[in-house]
Structure 1
Amino acid sequence: MKNEKKIQQSINRREMLKKSGLALAAAPFYFGLNSCVSGAKKTMDADVIIVGAGLAGLNAALLFEQAGFKVKIVEATDRLGGRVHTAKESDVPGHPELGGNGIGGGYARVLDAAQKYGVSMGPMRPRTEARKGELVYRIKNNFILPEEWPTHDLNTLPEGYRKGLPAYVTWGHFGKINPLPENDLAAWRDPKYKDWDKSTYSVLKDEGFSDDDIKLVMGTNSSYGVDAQNISIMMYFQILTWIGQQNASTGKGGAIVGGNQRLPEAMAAAFKQDIMLSSPVKSIASEADATTITLDNGNTLRAPYCLVTLPASALRRIQISPSAQGIQQKGFQNLDYTPVVQLHYVPKKKYWEEDGLPPSMWCDNLAGRFMALKNDLQDPDRVTSCVAFLNSNVALEIDKMKQEDAIALVTKTLEDIRPSLKGALDFTYYWTWVNNPYAGGAYAYWKPGEITDFANNLADPIGRIHFAGEHTAVMNRGMEGAMESGERAAFELMDLLG
């Protein structure tokens, strides 16, 4: 409780400074104790400048600080956490996660940080998975209950794949053919498995799936990538091996009480040095004895080393000197991120009681996964909000539209397919990870051949510039992968700093 109070005081201090006018649009905002910046520095600003205040950057910063090094963090946006982002209660009741959601029992670094920095763990908060009996499929203009799907006339999937949610029916087969050793979380990068770094589409065609079947199971509401042709089956092998390790863990996962963003905020509150918010980086130069970081506003920072923790999609907007070469440059330019767009609503009535259908829907149209969320810890059966969670090509299509047009189209689609939703929903919040210059998507995905081509080289230093972020993680994924990468980079640089 004492730590939580301290965290809130630090956050309140930040809000107070913002309101006082210190956080001007054209100037960086400082979250720290010793802030100063000028256009021409004669001395170093820190031992390490960290670009990005997500979990990777914050974990690295705290490790540096504990080891006695001087650190500054530079963050482009006005908040902490990167792709860990919780909706405000004032925007969406129940404050659902907009970014990183579940915390597994094997998220050792995340769970340790939660305990260390005084945030409480609570139960998992499902976002795109409905409770048993609370989901109906909407496929080819038909409502189909899960128990009806295996024998339904519209189910044309091959024998052995007709039971279960379409997006998950292939996972069992992927598990059977997974060549990776169960206990080797780094094997997915081993060149000896390069023949498996091929399209998931080719694997499913070999199993007798038609193109329409593949579109249903891999191109509709897919949590990874866009479609089967553009994602490597090796990525699924990595995910399955990692899930196996998570399931074998004895730890207790869940979600952060109050939202997962409370964790990076707590980490930032524990960090005693500077975090410069609203400070996009324009360029980073590695020189003979230092790095120079130039912000969009023209101010510069200098340090012996720079640690960049941005996703590759965000790194593409920054000029790096000397530039990346060869396969690393290919990786920076080509690694893509899973498209995610979310439209949040507050239900004004119990529409599911009106039509007798389950409250949540898995749709093969612009409605995506329409989920009735239950995020009230005191009343866990109450629907607090609904979300149209869009992935794959649907997310890309919607994201190209003007926001007001996208909202109108998705809302109309929902009302057309389910009349009980007419007048039942108040739109409350729109969030996109796609049209976001500092993210470009929710998390990295690997296209066929990319793991073999450049996965092992994305974190290679460029002179004095080093790299971290979930896309550079070897053993873990998601939030834990980000923490792993920050830890790896911090120890790497400590060896150089001496």
Structure 2
Amino acid sequence: MTRNLESSFGMDIMDRRRFLKASAGATALGLLGCAGLPNSRLGGERGSDIIVIGAGLAGLAAAQKLEDSGARVTVLEGNNRIGGRLNTIERNGLRFEVGGVQVGDAYERVHAHADRVGIEIAPPAINLMGPDGRPLPTALIHAGQIVSSANWISSPLNPLQGREHTIAPPNLLRTAMNEVALKTIAGWDDPANLEMDIPLRDFLSSRGWSSQALDWMDVADSYTSLRTISALDALRRQAEHLARQQGSRPSENRAASTPGAGWVTRGSQALPEAMAEALQSTPLLGMEVIAVEQNARGIEVGCSNGQRFRADHVVITVPSGPLSRIRFTPAPPQVQTEVWANRRSNSITTIHLHPTKPFWELDGLPMNMWNDGPLQRVMAVPDTEGTIQRLIVWLNGDAANRVDRMAPDARMQWAMGELARLRPSSAGALEPLATRSWGSDRFADGAFSEIAPGRVADTVQWSGKRFGRIHFGGEHNAFDKPGMEAAVVSGERAAAAVLAA
């Protein structure tokens, strides 16, 4: 990448000398420095101008912008790895994702950082669609009986009436949401739209969808439930999804033929790891922040292991759940802490299995599955040759919470047992690979942030509102961007706010 960082990132950069001069003045006043700081793993006592909490995309993007402006930055990560909700693992010779995957072509900031650190983003080398370019059929399981989605309309298992009768259960929610979609994400939170700040189930029910259809929509969504998410927030997320699918004008670093969605070729986690390696100071792992104090000396951050860090400002990028457990002195306004406490992320648990033989050829049913029982959804993932190497059991909401009570090995055995019960041909044809629970991960508290019904206005106003020397990032604070792009943009915005302070 030949362009300098200012032109590449398209942002105003604070003059290094001006920033360092201001920092020196702050140090003289006792606002900076760490004279009493315990030794860190990097050796010796450390001082920094700014502390960034969280080493996911948001925190790393913030740290990079701040360092480029001449600031000394310390990044604290509570987990024992870099990456946040990007998580790539290897099992039995297979490398796969248990976190975020897709990078839209419209993700300009994500692509800019990938270009900067030498990480390739390319179209996936696997085909998840049928030979005609349409989605593959799904085995629909209702009340323990199975029918292919290709035969759903004529099946006696289909109880739906009217317009619903022709729609397979996995497509009900998408169809319902498309009928009421926002034209653009811009202005999604306008006061005129707040009438839609009600439970999504109530909103769709008022549009004529039956109770049975609504129950089945809860299986195929990625929300905690249709009852616990605001319809307006769901419409915002749908608008983000459409933005992710849409292409953008190619930059000089990407060809015009680049499709609308790509994957990190070395695995999603490779991107934040490369961003961390590019920083002047390596992020400190195992530093779970439990307290943040603003005082006459600036900011003091306390970790669960007893270490304390001081700086002039702090940028916090962790999700709302972990954020709500941090003790702030003085306390932020009550309305702000209530927004954090009430904005949770949905539980998603995945179970990854390797098929040792193609059992779907024995029973003649589609590989992908949807069911209204505890197993919810099963998705087949092929390799570059088209061979199915992995099945993903995908559970949302209460279904995820129930299996999260099991130990990981027991959870994988449960999934294989359920599959054998529903499809006897799979008995003895599967081996466990891995399972990932985002709802029980205390550093994430879930996968996708949600706004509860009736809380949109307060959430937009207070979720990321600056509190003294404390600034906030994280994908949940970039309401106008989707996925990974929201994380990166939020971090850069928080850094810009610090530099402008």
Q: TM-score range by the shorter chain?
A: 0.7 to 0.9
Partner of 2:78: 76
User: Could you say if the C-alpha distance between residues 59 and 123 of structure 1 is closer, same or farther in structure 2, counting changes exceeding 3 Å?
Assistant: same
Equivalent of 1:321, from 308, 325, 329?
A: 329
Gap runs ≥5 in structure 2: 2-37, 251-257
d(CA) in 2 for partners of 1:142 and 1:210?
22
Equivalent of 1:243, from 241, 244, 249?
A: 241
Partner of 2:370: 362
User: Could you say if the C-alpha distance between residues 309 and 405 of structure 1 is closer, same or farther in structure 2, counting changes exceeding 3 Å?
Assistant: same
- Equivalent residues in 2 for 1:331-350, closer than 5 Å: 331-350=339-358
Partner of 1:211: 211
- CA drift of 1:93 comes to 4.7
Contact 2:59 2:491 in 1 (8 A): yes
Between 305-314 and 243-252, the greater mean CA deviation after superposition: 243-252
User: Could you say if the C-alpha distance between residues 105 and 157 of structure 1 is closer, same or farther in structure 2, counting changes exceeding 3 Å?
Assistant: farther
User: Could you say if the C-alpha distance between residues 169 and 210 of structure 1 is closer, same or farther in structure 2, counting changes exceeding 3 Å?
Assistant: closer
d(CA) in 1 for partners of 2:393 and 2:44?
43
- Equivalent residues in 2 for 1:29-108, closer than 5 Å: 30=41, 35-36=42-43, 45-88=47-90, 91=91, 93-108=93-108
Partner of 2:136: 133
Confirm whether residue 116 of structure 1 aligns to residue 155 of structure 2: no
- Equivalent residues in 2 for 1:401-412, closer than 5 Å: 401-412=406-417
- CA drift of 1:323 comes to 1.8
- CA drift of 1:150 comes to 2.8
d(CA) in 1 for partners of 2:160 and 2:108?
39
Confirm whether residue 390 of structure 1 aligns to residue 418 of structure 2: no
- CA drift of 1:400 comes to 2.3
CA deviation digits over 1:354-378, x for unaligned, max 9? 222222212222222212212x34x
d(CA) in 2 for partners of 1:317 and 1:146?
45
Between 477-486 and 130-139, the greater mean CA deviation after superposition: 130-139
Partner of 2:219: 220
SS of the residue corresponding to residue 284 of structure 2 reads strand
Partner of 2:6: none
Equivalent of 2:271, from 249, 254, 263?
A: 263
Equivalent of 1:483, from 459, 479, 488?
A: 488
TM superposition score normalised by structure 1: 0.85
Confirm whether residue 171 of structure 1 aligns to residue 174 of structure 2: yes
- CA drift of 1:62 comes to 0.7
Partner of 2:189: 189
Q: What is the percent sequence identity of the aligned residues?
A: 28
> In the alignment, residue 468 of structure 1 is paired with which amino acid?
G
> In the alignment, residue 239 of structure 1 is paired with which amino acid?
R
> In the alignment, residue 297 of structure 1 is paired with which amino acid?
N
User: Could you say if the C-alpha distance between residues 424 and 269 of structure 1 is closer, same or farther in structure 2, counting changes exceeding 3 Å?
Assistant: same
Between 325-334 and 187-196, the greater mean CA deviation after superposition: 187-196
d(CA) in 2 for partners of 1:126 and 1:210?
37
Partner of 1:301: 309
d(CA) in 1 for partners of 2:196 and 2:93?
44
CA deviation digits over 1:2-43, x for unaligned, max 9? xxxxxxxxxxxxxxxxxxxxxxxxx9985xxxx3465xxxxx
d(CA) in 1 for partners of 2:291 and 2:138?
48
Partner of 1:156: 159
User: Could you say if the C-alpha distance between residues 169 and 67 of structure 1 is closer, same or farther in structure 2, counting changes exceeding 3 Å?
Assistant: same
User: Could you say if the C-alpha distance between residues 120 and 280 of structure 1 is closer, same or farther in structure 2, counting changes exceeding 3 Å?
Assistant: same
Gap runs ≥5 in structure 1: 2-26, 39-43
User: Could you say if the C-alpha distance between residues 158 and 238 of structure 1 is closer, same or farther in structure 2, counting changes exceeding 3 Å?
Assistant: farther
> In the alignment, residue 452 of structure 1 is paired with which amino acid?
A
SS of the residue corresponding to residue 104 of structure 2 reads coil
CA deviation digits over 1:241-277, x for unaligned, max 9? 3334344423533100021111101111111213101
- CA drift of 1:135 comes to 2.7
SS of the residue corresponding to residue 255 of structure 1 reads strand
Partner of 1:439: 444
SS of the residue corresponding to residue 441 of structure 2 reads coil
d(CA) in 1 for partners of 2:128 and 2:346?
15
Partner of 1:290: 298
CA deviation digits over 1:173-226, x for unaligned, max 9? 433334x452xx342222332111111111222233333321111x21421x22
User: Could you say if the C-alpha distance between residues 158 and 453 of structure 1 is closer, same or farther in structure 2, counting changes exceeding 3 Å?
Assistant: farther
Partner of 2:254: none
Contact 1:331 1:455 in 2 (8 A): no
d(CA) in 2 for partners of 1:279 and 1:125?
37
d(CA) in 1 for partners of 2:237 and 2:127?
19
Partner of 1:21: none
Between 407-416 and 299-308, the greater mean CA deviation after superposition: 407-416
d(CA) in 2 for partners of 1:222 and 1:128?
19
Contact 2:241 2:482 in 1 (8 A): no
RMSD over aligned Cα atoms: 2.4
Between 163-172 and 250-259, the greater mean CA deviation after superposition: 163-172
Between 193-202 and 93-102, the greater mean CA deviation after superposition: 93-102
SS of the residue corresponding to residue 271 of structure 2 reads helix
- How many residues end up aligned between the 2 structures? 452
SS of the residue corresponding to residue 284 of structure 1 reads strand
TM superposition score normalised by structure 2: 0.84
Partner of 2:472: 467
